[in-house]
A and B are shown apart, each in its own frame.
Chain A
Amino acid sequence: MRGSPRALLVFLGRRLVYSAVVLLGVMVVTFAIVQLVPGDPIRLALGTRYNAEAYQALLEASGLDRPLPEQFFSYIAGALTGDLGVSFRSGQPVTVLLLERLPATVSLAVVGIGLALLIALPAGIWAGLREGRVADAIVRVTSQFGVSVPDFWMGLLLITLFSGILGWLPSSGYTPLAEDPGGWARQVVLPALTVGLVAAAILTRYVRAAVLEVAHSGFVRTAKSKGLSPKVVTMRHVVRNALVPVLTIVGIQLATIASGVIVVEVVFAWPGLGRLVYEAVAARDYAMIQGAVLLIAAMFLLINLIVDVCYALVDPRIRLS
């Protein structure tokens, strides 16, 4: 049974409305960031650069001199049309600054999640099919270690080994892929390895658990009792069905990496969204913090929406429930 197209459309409609409601809530929270700052956010952002003219100019540019309801509706309208205001620090449009940082984060996310899947899928399936054996124990212990390692510490250790001791790879820096693919590849290895290994540890645990769950289910027992070969049962029934729920956790991991692995980007001086947030917080650039937090949360929602839709497409039970 594949479920009717109408059921899928209803599911999509509901999911879209839900995402829109959550996005509105996210906008309320990001709007509140500036309003909740104790004291004058513009005075704090200017710091030692404060003078009356600069203060007045920034006050007008940010719209903070207007009544609160007007500020709120102007913020929502601006956000929906891609206008996130101007940076308190540089005076440049926040949207432009965010879009400049996006390619670095996306490239790190794609390589990182690719690496994680390359490790997690075989390791998780292998361990799940050998429950209770030595192989399973090795994978479980290794993934538990991976989950417990702070990613920034792993980054520092990788820098110590591959840059400091062996001198094979650069410890920091970023060259756009289109400019110099070779340089980009050399620079992306260590940060991608850092985010990829941590994500792989998390994913391995989920893949193993999903394989175990399916392997103990009734339809697998039926397939075995029908006399199907273990290879066919494993590939066609266990692995295929186990990978469906794993899709969700892959989406969450991708969203986490794509939304800026803040500390890893700081460790490797990787000029992505995460590092931009860090710089904005350190500089008390509230407009930039607002914009970056909103963009990241919206990306997070979008990726989860896409994952849910994919999930509904491959598993009719989701859209029929």
Chain B
Amino acid sequence: MSTTEDRPTAEGRVGEARLGSLRLLAASPVTVAAAVVLVVVVIVALTAQWIAPYGINDVDVSRALQGPSGAHPLGTDDLGRDILSRVMVAAGTSLQVALVSVVFAFCVGVPIGIVSGYVGGWLDTVLMRIVDVMFAFPVLLLALAIVAILQPGLATTMLAIGIVFTPIFARVARASTLSVRVEPYVQVAQTMGTPWYRIMGRHVLPNITGPLIVQTSLSLAFAILSEAALSFLGLGIQPPDPSWGGMLFAAQGFVSQAWWMSVFPGLAIFVTVLACNLLGDGLRDVLDPKQRTRIEARQR
């Protein structure tokens, strides 16, 4: 009895807003193109081991440092391995790291932010000072410190990036919770004696999804860049597993002899990050009420 009366209104409003947002998203060609590119990257990443023309560790020194050709469209590296195959398989690694680390940051950061914003008081002060301390470290520096404590590798990379991104989600969730907390439907739920955890789960969380979705998309882009940077430094994904950053690390000694070794893995990072950023921008445009009014006015 406690929340059934106000639920349909809040959820109905959320559902309606989502439909409107999807319509606006579909109307933006740039956002649609970014989404299509991301879908293609995901499909390639998922199917790379079957569709890649060569094995990722097929070493053949006789064909080392060959430029792009029919047999090797993106050329070969210093060990004669096919760059196209490695770029395709590395997509899976990069996306896996990005996804797991952002999901980790979301799952840890969002509850911290919601509790901090909703409960307030000393708990908010303590949690936000911890978040401030984490913000005092530049992103890559904190990730490097975590890698220094643990051994470099796939799990450490995901954990390091996840920890680094957690305070960002906490801040976004807290800021949104502060504005939702004073909404009438939350106050009605409080008056009706709805438990705090239910208010957070049923009323606060569904109404702060907009900024969180935008942050997730932008964080995915930044996570891909962070993984690439760590692997480029030799402290992320370890050989022989291919990663875009690791391929660029290997290309450093061959910039003048074999430009394709550095150009194509870099291009893969660039295109994927660009698609995530454009999607994030598109989502922000339609989920931010101020921007949304402007877009709708322009479309009318």
Contact = CB atoms under 8 A, between A and B. Distances in A.
A111 interface: no
Contact of B256 (A132, A157, A160): A160
Contact of A157 (B228, B235, B266, B278): B266
Contacts of A26: 133, 136-137
Which bucket holds chain B's interface residue count?
35 or more
Contacts of B204: none
B48 interface: no
B179 interface: no
Interface in B214-271: 221, 225, 228-229, 232-235, 245, 248, 251-252, 255-256, 259, 262-263, 266, 269-270
Given A159-B255, A160-B259, A293-B145, A153 B136 contact: no
Given A262-B140, A262-B233, A282-B235, A156 B273 contact: no
Contact of B136 (A157, A260, A281, A301): A301
A263 B233 contact: yes
Contacts of A282: 234-235
A285 B25 CA distance: 50
A147 B275 CA distance: 12
Nearest to B134: A29
Nearest to A262: B140
B22 interface: no
A25 interface: yes
Nearest to B267: A153
Nearest to A259: B138
Contact of A262 (B141, B274, B278): B141
A280 to B, nearest CB: 8
A278 interface: yes
B149 interface: yes
Nearest to A35: B149
Of B251, B266, B278, the most chain A CB neighbours within 10 A belong to B266
B274 A293 contact: no
Chain B binding surface, main DSSP class: helix
Contacts, number: 130
Interface string A135-169: 00000000011011110110011011001110000
B141 A148 contact: no
B232 A144 contact: no
B129 A25 contact: yes
Given A156-B248, A256-B138, A150 B256 contact: no
A307 to B, nearest CB: 14
Given A149-B270, A260-B138, A29 B228 contact: no
Nearest to A257: B138
B77 to A, nearest CB: 14
A75 interface: no
A22 B248 contact: no
A193 interface: no
A134 interface: no
B26 to A, nearest CB: 20
Of A33, A156, A259, A267, the most chain B CB neighbours within 10 A belong to A156
B232 to A, nearest CB: 5
Nearest to B224: A150
Of B145, B235, B256, B266, the most chain A CB neighbours within 10 A belong to B145
13 contacts: A147-B277, A150-B225, A153-B248, A153-B270, A156-B248, A156-B262, A157-B262, A163-B256, A256-B138, A266-B232, A297-B136, A297-B138, A301-B136
Interface of B: 129-130, 132-134, 136-138, 140-141, 144-145, 147-150, 221, 225, 228-229, 232-235, 245, 248, 251-252, 255-256, 259, 262-263, 266, 269-270, 273-274, 277-278, 281, 298
Interface of A: 18, 21-23, 25-26, 28-29, 33, 36-38, 132, 144-145, 147-150, 152-153, 156-157, 159-160, 163-165, 171, 255-256, 259-260, 262-263, 266-267, 277-278, 280-282, 284, 286, 289, 293, 296-297, 300-301
Q: Which 7 A-B pairs have the closest CB atoms?
A: A25-B133, A153-B266, A164-B256, A148-B274, A148-B273, A281-B148, A156-B262
